Structure 1
Amino acid sequence: MNKAVTSGFESDVGRKTTHHFLYPESAIDLPADVHLVLVPFKTLDLQWIASALSTGQITKTYMEVKQFIKADKDKVMVISPAFLKYVNDKWTEHHGRYPSTGMLAVIFALHTCDEVSVFGYGADVNGNWHHYWEENKYASAFRKTGVHNADFETKTLRKLVEEGKIRQYTPERTARPINKYIRKT
C-alpha cells in the first residue's frame, strides 16, 4: 500500500505483491506484474491516473504528485467511490473523515479472497500508526487531524482477528502471528 517497500522487509511483508493500493500523493513505480489499485479520494485522482499513464499534465493535487508512474496500463484497477462509501458507512462507521488506504485494502481483500493475512499494518501498543520501513516521528498525527481514526480501525481489525476472518501478524521483524488462529510453520 502507498509508499510501502518490501525490499529488505521480506520477513515482515513477504516477497510477492499482486495488488498495490495507492492514491496520487502516495504513488510509486510498480513492476509490470503488479496491479495498480487506485483509491480515488477525490475527483482529481481519476484525472491524475489518466495523466500519469499518458501525458503527465497533472503534477499537483493538494501537493506535488508523480508526473508519470510506471505501471502496466492493463493492470490498473480503480476502487469505486461506492466502495469507499460502503467501507466508511459499514466498517469504520464514520470514525475519521474517511477510511485509511490500509483499511480499504483489508475490506477489499475480505470481499475478494478466500483467506486474508495482514502483515506490517496496524498500530503499536499505544495506538500509534507507524510504517515498518521508516522511523515515523509523527505516528500519532492521525489522532490530531481526524483524517483516519487509527483507534477505531485497530479495534475493527482486532475484531476480525478474534472472529477468525483475518490473520494479522505483528509489525515486528519476526512476523509473529498475534492471534490464536495461526500456527507458525
Structure 2
Amino acid sequence: MVSKQKRHFVCLLGYRILTDTERLNCTRNLTPVKTVGASEGIFVGPHDVLARIRKNNIKEIPLWMLEEVYLRDSQPKEMICRHSLRNSEDTEFKEAFIPDIQLFLHRDHINISEWNRLVHFNNPFGFMGYKYTEVKNIVDLIPKPKEFPLLAAPSTDKQGCVRCAVVANGGILNGSKMGQTIDSHDYVFRMDGAVIEGHEEDVGIRTSVFVHTASTLMASLDMIQELGFRDVPTDEGISYVLVPVGLGDLHFLKTLLLKTSDLWKAYKNMWQRYYFLDNFDENKYYVLHPDFLRYIRNRYLKSWHLNEKSWKMFRPTSGAFSLFLAVHTCDIVNAYGFLTTNHRKFAETYFKKTDSGVDYLHYDYNLELELLERLHNSEVINLYKRQ
C-alpha cells in the first residue's frame, strides 16, 4: 500500500529519492547506462550534502533515480560457447542479466564523478558514510587488469566452453562423494572457510577462484583451524576475489598491496599477508565492484527486509556473490553445497557434525533458496540436490 503521507523530493546531483507512487512504478528492468567520467561531472570535489548522509539515520532503504545505473565493462569477454547460460531463453533471467556489468574495481574507477554517484549507496553497494580520500587512496593501489581477468576457455574444448563448479559449505556435501566430479570442472570456485583436508572425497581438492571477505576469512583461520582450514588456498594459478563488505576489507586490501605488517585494528595480531605466503600476486587479486554487488541485490535478491529499520544490515551471502561471479564468467555453472529444499536433512556444514546454532540476521536465506531453485529450474545453473 502507498502511504497517504506525502513524501518530499530530495534533489542531489540531478537525482532524487522516489516518491512511494514512483516506487510502485519502478521495476528492475530499467535500462542501465554507463556513468559519466570525471571530466563530465558537476562537482570538483566530493558533494558535502551527500557526505553527511548516514545510513543509521535512514529508516528504510532509499531508492534513488540512479539505483539502476551501473558501470559497464568497455571490453567485455567474448563468449563463443553455444551452450552458454548466456543463451538462456528464460525471459526473467534475460531481462535481469547484464552481460557486460563491471565486475571488478580498480584504480581507474574512483574519481569525483563516480564517488558522488556511489556515495548514495550503503556498503557493500557503495560508499555511503565513507571518506573520499581514505577510499581513493586504497583503490588507487589496485592495479588495472592487463587482460580479461579470471577465466579462459580450456584449449582442449573446441567449442570454447568454460565449465565451473561453485562449492559452498553446506552439509549436503558430507558423504556425497562428489569430489572427483567437482575437480573435473575447468575451474572450481570456493569461498571463505573452505575446509578441504579430510573431506577430499566429498568436495575435491582443487581451488581456482577463492572468494572471501576479510572478516570471515580471518575468523575462519582463527576458529576452524582444528577442522582443517589452516591456510588460504595456494593452488597454482589461483585467483583471489575480495568482497568489500565494509571499510575493514579495504584496509585488509591495503595491507596486502603495500606488503606491510601495519595491521588495521580490526584484525588484532593476525598478519593477513602471512597466510598468502609467497604466492601473493597483486595481478591475481581482484576486488568486486560495488555496482556488481548492488546489481545482484537489486535484480535477483531484493529482500523485503530492506523496507525495515534494519535495512542496512541485509546483503546477499558470499555464496550468492560467488555464484553470480561464476554466472558472469563461465558458460556452464554447477553449484554444490548450496541451500536446497531438502537442506534440513543435513548438517549446517559438511565439516561439522552439529550446527553452530548461530542465526545470521543479515541474510535472507529463504529468498536465496527461492532464487537457487528458480535458476536451477530454468537451467541457468545446475544445483546439486543429492536425491
Match of residue 211, structure 2, among 5, 13, 21: 21
Change in Cα spacing, 1:119 to 1:20, as seen in structure 2 (3 Å) is same
**Aligned pair 1:87/2:296, yes or no?**
yes
SS at match of 1:55: coil
SS of 2:240's equivalent in the other structure is strand
Instruction: Deviation per CA, 1:12-34: give whole Å up to 9, x if none.
Output: 32332110110111225230522
Q: Which amino acid aligns with 1:56?
A: S
Q: Secondary structure at the match of 1:98?
A: coil
Using a 3 Å threshold, how does the CA distance of structure 1 residues 127 and 48 change in structure 2: closer, same or farther? farther
Over the aligned positions, Cα root-mean-square deviation in angstroms equals: 2.6
Q: Within the alignment, does 1:38 sit opposite 2:245 as a pair?
A: no
The Cα of 1:66 is off from its aligned counterpart by 3.9
- Structure 1 residue aligned with 2:328, among 111, 119, 124? 111
Match of 2:263 in 1: 58
Question: Structure 1 unaligned runs (5+)?
Answer: 171-175, 179-185
> Paired residue for 2:364?
149
- Measured in 2, the distance between the counterparts of 1:136 and 1:95 equals 30
User: The residue matched to 1:40 in structure 2 has which SS?
Assistant: coil
Contact 1:160 1:166 in 2 (8 A): yes
In the alignment, residue 302 of structure 2 is paired with which amino acid? E
Q: Distance in 2 between matches of 1:116 and 1:32?
A: 21
Structure 2 runs not aligned, ≥5 long: 1-190, 218-230, 306-313
Displacement after TM superposition at 1:136 (Å): 5.0
Contact 1:87 1:107 in 2 (8 A): yes
Structure-2 residue corresponding to 1:161: 376
Q: 1:66 to 1:152 in 2, by over 3 A?
A: farther
Larger radius of gyration: 2
Q: Which residue of 1 aligns with 2:157?
A: none
Letter in 2 for 1:22: H
Percentage of identical aligned residues: 24
CA distance in structure 1 between the partners assigned to 2:353 and 2:260 by the alignment:
35
User: How far is 1:128 from its partner?
Assistant: 9.1
Q: CA deviation at 1:10?
A: 2.9
Answering whether residue 316 of structure 2 is matched by residue 99 of structure 1, we say yes
1:139 offset after TM fit, Å?
5.1
1:138 CA drift (Å): 3.2
- TM-score, length-normalised on structure 2? 0.40
Is the Cα–Cα contact under 8 Å of residues 24 and 65 in structure 1 kept in the other structure? no
User: How many residue pairs align between the two structures?
Assistant: 168
1:127–1:106 distance in 2 versus 1, CA, 3 Å: farther
**Structure 2: which amino acid aligns with 1:23?**
T
Q: 1:134 to 1:55 in 2, by over 3 A?
A: same
Distance 1:92 1:167, change over 3 A: same
**Residues 207 and 235 of structure 2 are in contact (CA less than 8 Å); yes or no, is this contact kept in structure 1?**
no
